[in-house]
Structure 1
């Protein structure tokens, strides 16, 4: 274990954030699943805690091994991952497991593992877009040669995710647009793409209403209407219970394990875990969680600025964008600043595949950070050797004189 810790490289602040969020996850999951485990697991209240501990342990191992890989390897596998994600999304739409009227999951029969294919698609897409942005910088202002090879994959993946998971598709598209803006894609092209995406969403609603197709449009409309009405009577049940949890939390909270709303709030261990954290740890605890994600973004921006190669810079920034934007969306839903979505809080909410792919994303960010550190150390060592040689030459000249 000491050997692993000694060999762990990369941004130490990001490592600290990972461990902090992991501890928060264990505390919040244990508190929010105690009564659920007691009912479903014959009184074994630690069942979900042990399960989450196992998943987080696996996630930390994934982060470690992913950060030991040179990030240039991810450029080579970006195309493969993108190509694989397309048939996986198609299969999910056709034969995926339905939960809350949404086909988002597929089962692996041999190991009996259920995962969201959108998690694979998001990771593959950001690697692919980062690769394309780095390769197309010379022709980035050319619509056909620079813009289309970047934006077509983004639109394709978002459209395939949209029928089952509108919120994930919109957040993914927003993250990619932001990364493209930083990658010097002309604003007029991005504005046109945003207009096209809005048109596609409207066409999706029209198609569903005309054909009677059982898509999730009714759910989307009801969520938007309940959020925009401003009437407490129209507020969804889970939002009402989340508001009660936040109100009871106050400044310092009720203390670890003392949540009352975990017994009433739907999905207190995943979508609404942030409300449970506020109830138990107060506004102070909520602020610490927000600061952790903001620090992750700031440290990734620092990596972006220092990385000497475009692919690594775009990769680190793009992956941090998707994690932080997802976290902000989850927190906004919990405090009723955003319509209800199905996104979880990265590295905190209980989960299997979501934790695994989040860990892989963080590992890739740390891989870029490790490379930046090693490049910086080599530069410093080279400058030191040059200074020593210069001093030796000056000393030799003085002796000769």
Structure 2
């Protein structure tokens, strides 16, 4: 069946929403091609460049449509749904409520995926229109906590086809990777206990804790993978000022190469704070499903994570060690114990890798399309 995907994400981009969206489209194309993706803007990119940046193996068509900022993507929603129908799309997969409502009203089956609360002046109205408009439809939400938030906001949604769809991982990217010492040697990293963080350094990601841990463990190597240039410049100055010399800042690493850096670590950090800036501008700490969590599981290394309730939808005491957010003393104690206990690290990592099997992007796509003609 022809699946049209419509997203407002920018491509190419290193933002999480852009990476997630491209991973979803890639998985959909693996499960049931053809897939065609429409994006706003006048962009273009060679498939080889997209494949490297996003870690993709099977190609799908990407098209960009112009969009005037003054119309807040509503013009893009109308044009993209129209183009999808001209293409002969048999279903629509979108992250945009305005495109979902328009497609339903035109008779297309629609899967709408949400990652955050419904906010803004028109957001709640659009969501109610999606719920109330007749037609074949399914709602995907990334956590049970988000579903609960939506039901608190909009009332009983039991009549709506809702699927809990945590983010996923391309498990094949982690197959056949070397053990940590060999990965470190290949990347030119020192052979010493290695603690890895991958991701951005936005508000709520635990930067103060990362710096505090690096200062407290000079005998270990800390590898921080990713980040925007402006954030890295601030971090570099901060590390210099505190005379912290055991941190490697890699900058942006293409998704295809990211797994090698993660498996180079003995311990992988998820130091989220109690408040995480979400796409809506609010706090997403109680509803989020970070992609790094699934990458870390697939890497098969010990995970040290902030103890946020929503993470327990995926992480367990068998595959991760939990610490109170922002509590540097507790994190130092937990990290010291893991550094000194390779058997415990091996136990956690082995279970993490087994659990990752349940969270592949392909399985996620299969579930999303199941019985959805």
TM-score by length of 1: 0.27
The structure whose RCO (Cα within 8 Å, separation 6+) is larger is 1
Larger radius of gyration: 1
In terms of fraction of residues, the more helix-rich structure is: 1
TM-score, normalised via structure 2 length: 0.29
Q: Give the structure with the higher percent strand.
A: 2
